[in-house]
């Protein structure tokens, strides 16, 4: 997959891009089965009662088949099209979501540094928990950021509920559709069920300058296994993600592994001496 210039322009301007049917019905059925296995066996899903969100890290890192999502030409082409062919994969999370999520960005980097790729495994509409976005709100100059508006207080501020904040776009999706968005973009969901299945892949630009390296260290000090004080057994990623990687996948893993090992040496994988 290669993005058109119009798609790149759309992403850079509005902060998100929805791709329909990136995965076939057979592919998404296998992916859904893989996520269900992981959340039930590794993510506490057996205890999910709908009262709160159930979340676990490394959603595609537990089986070789799921790790291969990072090798999928559609996914590689999509991410490469917005942040470069040498992008860093920085893990993600798997979820059973419950109810509404408030308006929020995932970061405040002030630049296109990190993106989230979101997989929604159930049909979702504006009334059943689909992703909603505020186009352009990733920009430091957007009026929401400039005027420091709390969208979650819009009822008190403007007389409209947060779900109807002016200008928000509901991105209704079917399984197989993929949404990618800038970490700085404001987003939310309203009216969802008590067991919405969704997982993400977080990716950043490959850091080459001292400024980017500093930002990458800051990012991974928070958005990583070590940042959550969690021991995967192999540092930044669960072992299967690394052990099944070919040379091309390692392009996207190597820098996060090196930075994570530097930040959290206590969790670094112990490598056998030659």
pLDDT in tens, the chain (274 residues): 899 999 999 999 999 999 999 999 999 999 999 999 999 998 888 898 888 889 899 999 999 999 999 999 999 999 999 999 999 999 999 999 888 999 999 999 999 999 999 999 999 999 999 999 999 999 999 999 999 999 999 999 999 999 999 999 999 999 999 999 999 999 999 998 888 999 999 999 999 999 999 999 999 999 999 999 999 999 999 999 999 999 999 999 999 999 999 999 999 987 543 3
> How many residues make up the chain in this entry?
274
pTM given for the model: 0.94
- Cβ neighbour number for residue 261 with a 10 Å cutoff: 16
Nearest by Cα to 33 from 1, 57, 69: 69
Q: Which segments within 105-262 are labelled E, that is strand?
A: 114-120, 131-133, 169-171, 178-182, 187-189, 196-204
């Amino acid at each position: 997959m290669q993005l058109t210039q119009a798609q790149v322009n759309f992403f850079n301007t509005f902060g998100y891009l929805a791709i329909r049917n990136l995965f076939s019905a057979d592919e998404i059925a296998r992916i859904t089965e893989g996520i269900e296995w992981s959340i039930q066996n590794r993510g506490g899903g057996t205890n999910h009662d709908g009262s709160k969100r159930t979340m676990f890290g490394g959603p595609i890192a537990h089986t070789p088949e799921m790790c291969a999502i990072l090798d999928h030409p559609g996914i590689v082409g999509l991410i490469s099209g917005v942040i470069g062919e040498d992008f860093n994969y920085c893990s993600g999370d798997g979820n059973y979501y419950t109810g509404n999520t408030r308006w929020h960005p995932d970061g405040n980097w002030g630049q296109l540094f990190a993106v989230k790729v979101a997989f929604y495994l159930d049909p979702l509409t504006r009334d059943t928990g689909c992703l909603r976005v505020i186009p352009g709100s990733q920009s430091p100059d957007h009026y929401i950021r400039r005027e420091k508006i709390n969208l979650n207080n819009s009822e008190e501020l403007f007389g409209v509920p947060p779900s109807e904040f002016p200008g928000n776009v509901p991105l209704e999706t079917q399984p197989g559709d993929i949404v990618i968005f800038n970490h700085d973009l404001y987003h939310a969901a309203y009216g969802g069920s008590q067991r919405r299945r969704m997982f993400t892949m977080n990716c950043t630009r490959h850091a080459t300058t001292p400024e980017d390296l500093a930002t990458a260290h800051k990012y991974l000090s928070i958005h990583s296994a070590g940042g959550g004080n969690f021991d995967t057994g192999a540092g930044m990623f669960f072992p299967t993600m690394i052990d099944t990687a070919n040379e091309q996948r390692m392009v996207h893993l190597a820098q996060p592994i090196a930075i994570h090992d530097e930040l959290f040496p206590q969790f670094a994988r112990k490598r056998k001496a030659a």
